[in-house]
Amino acid sequence: AQTVTQSQPEMSVQEAETVTLSCTYDTSESDYYLFWYKQPPSRQMILVIRQEAYKQQNATENRFSVNFQKAAKSFSLKISDSQLGDAAMYFCAYRSAQSAGGTSYGKLTFGQGTILTVHP
């Protein structure tokens, strides 16, 4: 079974500064996807960024980028130029690339989450 670990229960950052959230995972699979989701007080999970394990290049989405270290099973999220709207709970998640149950989009395994506070 796969596990995802986020070792930072809480992080804080000053507005306009950079912060990095950590995530490690454990799997015996070679092909999988990794995600960072943001959950604001509205409770809806919002996809921040996605990384395919077979791609060596780190994913980037505007101010958000990841540092994907496959051998170390590490997947950190860097938020640059932090904004007040970035304050939320952030979850790292894993999904196998193998189809399951006849569907091609299997379950997500989430970490425990990191609460990010942005100070003005």
Give the residue with the Cβ less far from other proteins, 16 or 47. 47
104 belongs to the binding site for other proteins (CB under 8 A): yes
Among 12, 47, 54, 98, binds other proteins (CB under 8 A): 47
φ and ψ at 53, to 5 degrees?
Answer: -65, -25
The CA distance from 86 to 100, in Å, is 34
* Least CB distance to other proteins at residue 41 (A): 10
Structure tokens at 1: 């079974």
Cβ of 99: how many Cβ atoms within 10 Å? 10
Task: Count residues binding other proteins (CB under 8 A).
Answer: 25
**Collapsed DSSP state (helix, strand, coil) of residue 113:** coil
SS3 96: strand
Minimum CB–partner distance for residue 82 and other proteins (Å): 22
Per CB under 8 A, contacts with other proteins among 75-94 are 91, 93
Stated as kind and residue range, the H or E segment containing 15 is none
Of these, 22, 50, 58, 70, which contacts other proteins (CB under 8 A)?
50
Q: With contacts defined by CB under 8 A, name the span among 18-26, 55-63, 70-78, 99-107 that binds other proteins.
A: 99-107
| List 44, 56, 57, 62, residue binding other proteins (CB under 8 A) | 44
Residue whose tokens read 């989009």: 105
